Amino acid sequence: MKHKIALSLCVLLAQAGWAQSTQNFRLKDCIDYGLQHYGTVRIAQNQVEYANQQSRQALGLYLPQVSATGTLTDNVKLQKSVIPAGVFGPEPQVFIIGQKYQTNVTAQASQTIYDRSLLLGIKAAKPNQRLADLNTRQTREEIIYNIASNYYQVFIAQQQIALLKDNLQRTQQVLNILKLQRDNGVIQPVDYTRTEVNYNSTQSQLTLAENDYNLALNRLKYQMGLPQEQDLTLSDSTLLTQLPVIEQAPFEAQNLVSFQQSATNLDLQRLQLERVRAGYIPTVSLTANYGTVNLGAQTIDKLFTNFVGFGSIALRFSIPIFDGFQRDAQIKQQRLTVLNQEEQQRLNIAAYRLQFNNAQSQIQRTQTNVLNGDRNVKLAQEVYNITTLQYKQGVKSLTDLVNADTSYRQAQSDYINSLINLYQARLDLEQSKGSLLTFYSQL
């Protein structure tokens, strides 16, 4: 008993240690967790298994089909018939047909020898399985995209909160100086009040930023499949210091999972067109049956006696001759479906290229904005520091200090916004190239 208690404690401590260790996540950790726990992954896995079972079903139609039937009949009221007069006598004779009880057992077997439609159904199993695999890949890419996008939003919200807290601290230092100056009559009370308003405004912005952070964090937990009540802390500290390196790559529509899905669906539609056409081709099958039947019994104890067997073997040919042009109409409908999908694929390729070109333009623009934003923050900080020193020395006015502080805050905000735009543009570019899985593997 003591050993069991000790073992249970060890398990609980191990689980608690694991839960504690999973509270700090890098971006790759979040994606790893989501790929294992988000519900759509299990749905995609079920779709793959569903395609495998469809393949088995298609093959089963070409395998032998065997069945057996048995009947126990109680003829409650037997049929009667009449033999006309003159056959067995001068008067018509009435006789009873059959016996009260009868047993019949029959086994049937059939084997398709040639059926073009069934063969094409077996051939369609491979693209069906490929489509299920592509759906799994698409699910993984969607999870990677959604988690990365939400992760960046949470991370940027953290940086925004840190900046606002820094701004509050700097403004508080200025308020302390202004309070002394106001109390000594150096400045007007309105100058202190104006700075205090800025402090309160920043405090309100901080409250909103913290609320936005909590909302973004909850969205990230949902995209990961992480329980909402579990704590989650981001530990990727390199996002600010190591900006993403974007490699230029040519556009290849074949790399996109959506293109491959459309191409596979087009293959299936072409196979379906062949299956409809195959309806004109004769089919050949072999059938056999064997049974046994008792010759009938007037009492139930004779139900399983006096059996005689019967059986047959047949080669069956089925040749379609005329169906009122139904199959011809089906062929034309299916041919139009194929033509429409081919045209849609061409339209999709143009849309994919447009998305890729727009993503490239966006990434170039955001990279420039980030570089400019970084320079502006450094310049604004330098101006603020110099203005603060000059204000303390009495060289600059309070208005100059407030303007420098406002410019510094605006530069910081612009830089934060340019960062989130850069990370989002990078995701959109990876998506437009069909390289989200590569992006994930390189994290």
Q: Per the structure block, which two tokens stand in for 315?
A: 């080669």
Residue of 161, 143, 130 lying closest to 32 (CA atoms): 143
CB-side neighbour CA atoms (13 Å) of 86:
1
Collect contacts of 179-187 with beta carbons under 8 A, ≥24 apart.
187/398
Q: Between the CA atoms of 205, 211, 216 and 221, what dihedral angle is there, to the nearest 10 degrees?
A: 150
Quote the CA–CA distance of 296 and 102 in Å, as a whole number: 5
What digits encode the pLDDT tens for the residues 379-389?
A: 999 999 999 88
Q: What is the amino acid identity at position 181?
A: Q
pLDDT attached to residue 215: 95
The string of DSSP codes covering 88-128 is: SSSS-EEEE-S-SEEEEEEEEEEEEEE-HHHHHHHHTHHHH
Predicted TM-score (pTM) of the model is 0.81
What digits encode the pLDDT tens for the residues 413-437?
A: 899 889 889 999 999 999 999 999 9
> Which residues of the chain are modeled with pLDDT < 70?
1-23, 86-89, 95, 98, 237, 240-242, 296-303
Tokens 């969205």 sit on residue: 219
Residue of 173, 205, 171, 169 lying closest to 402 (CA atoms): 171
pLDDT attached to residue 13: 36
Quote the CA–CA distance of 118 and 127 in Å, as a whole number: 15
> Which residues, 6 or more positions from 93, have their beta carbon under 8 angstroms from its beta carbon?
82, 83, 87
Quick one: which H or E segment has residue 259? helix 257-277
Q: Do residues 198 and 143 touch, judged by C-beta distance below 8 A?
A: no
Quote the CA–CA distance of 13 and 38 in Å, as a whole number: 26
**CB-based burial, 257-277: b 16+ in 10 Å, e otherwise:** bebbbbbbbbbebbbbbbbbb
3-state secondary structure (DSSP) of residue 201: helix
Q: 300: exposed, middle or buried (C-beta count within 10 Å: 0-12, 13-18, 19+)?
A: exposed
What does R_g of the chain's alpha carbons equal in angstroms? 40
Q: What is the amino acid identity at position 242?
A: Q
Q: Do residues 171 and 126 touch, judged by C-beta distance below 8 A?
A: no
